[in-house]
């Protein structure tokens, strides 16, 4: 059985102490030889300077590819072109192209209101320089009118030049497999244009529920009930969460998932433990 590639997502730290901790986390996770690290980007570029700081630091710290997130809503083409040129100068070869969320108080959608527009613009501006990842939603984008239209949008992003997509986190393997089958039926070769499984380790019950509610991800009833039963027993939550995510990844690997992207939450554990237990390192 072919082992899937794996990668990790970081978010920019808000403090100098957090920044230093993130660099230490990078050093530990980088020993596992991931394919790349992605770095998130706030609504309307609200964390732009912090994103650039950590991208600079990680590029200088190792040879592993760094994939900055880019959002387009509310930005103009000149700003995005400037950022693309900067990333080229840093040797960046991979981007995660997203619509993003409008910052509170901002009304204009900008010149590139959707991720599809951003993918097209990156290709117009930079040709094939960048490997472009886009977002995919196994349980449908919360603002989509139907699952079919959501799949249509993902297909359009592939056809506009996206190389691969990373899913929102999920805990039901069948939702991933159904989306993969739907793409295949629409003519997308998910080997050549992979559907990467986005995986969120479970370490904290309240944080997980908040993330899920904000992005429309489904938490299976048995997981919700068990986490509620554990109450404040953080060790029991971590062990149960590890087992849930390990079994999910095992199933995905058995089904031939091409790659797994771990939403690391800037932590070494349980990401390292999962990689080692799954035999991916």
The dihedral region occupied by 169, where left means phi > 0, alpha psi between -120 and 50, and beta the remainder, is beta
202-207 contacts at long range (C-beta below 8 A, 24 or more positions apart)? 202/227, 202/237, 202/238, 202/240, 202/241, 202/242, 202/244, 202/245, 203/237, 203/238, 203/241, 203/265, 203/267, 203/270, 204/234, 204/237, 205/230, 205/237
Residue 9: name the closest of 92, 68, 84, 59 by CA: 68
Active site residues: 9
Nearest-angstrom CA–CA distance, 166 and 215: 14
Establish how many alpha carbons lie within 13 A of residue 62's alpha carbon, considering only the half-sphere containing its beta carbon. 20
User: Which bin fits 130, alpha (ψ -120 to 50), beta or left (φ > 0)?
Assistant: beta
Euclidean distance between CA atoms 183 and 154, whole angstroms: 8
Backbone angles phi, psi at 8, to 5 degrees: -135, 145
Question: What CA dihedral angle connects 257, 262, 268 and 271, to 10 degrees?
Answer: -40
């Amino acid at each position: 059985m072919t082992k899937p590639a794996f990668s990790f997502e970081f978010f920019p730290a808000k403090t100098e102490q957090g920044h230093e901790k993130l660099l230490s986390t990078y050093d530990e996770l980088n020993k596992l030889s991931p394919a790349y690290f992605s770095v998130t980007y706030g609504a309307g570029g609200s964390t732009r300077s912090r994103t650039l700081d950590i991208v600079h630091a990680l590029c200088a710290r190792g040879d592993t590819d760094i994939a900055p997130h880019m959002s387009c809503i509310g930005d103009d083409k000149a700003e995005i072109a400037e950022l693309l040129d900067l990333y080229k100068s840093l040797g960046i070869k991979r981007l995660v192209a997203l619509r993003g969320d409008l910052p509170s108080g901002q009304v204009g959608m900008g010149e590139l209101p959707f991720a599809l527009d951003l993918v097209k613009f990156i290709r117009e501006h930079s040709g094939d320089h960048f490997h472009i990842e886009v977002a995919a939603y196994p349980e449908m984008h919360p603002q989509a009118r139907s699952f079919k239209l959501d799949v249509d949008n993902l297909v359009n992003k592939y056809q506009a030049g996206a190389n691969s997509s990373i899913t929102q986190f999920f805990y039901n393997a069948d939702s991933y497999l159904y989306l993969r089958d739907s793409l295949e039926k629409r003519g997308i070769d998910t080997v050549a244009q992979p559907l990467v499984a986005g995986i969120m380790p479970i370490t904290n019950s309240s944080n997980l529920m908040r993330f899920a509610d904000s992005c429309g991800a489904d938490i299976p009833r048995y997981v919700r009930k068990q986490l509620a039963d554990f109450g404040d027993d953080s060790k029991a939550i971590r062990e149960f969460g590890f087992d849930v995510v390990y079994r999910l990844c095992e199933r995905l690997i058995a089904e031939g998932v091409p790659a797994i992207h771990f939403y690391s939450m800037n932590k070494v554990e349980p990401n390292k433990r999962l990689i080692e237990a799954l035999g991916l390192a």
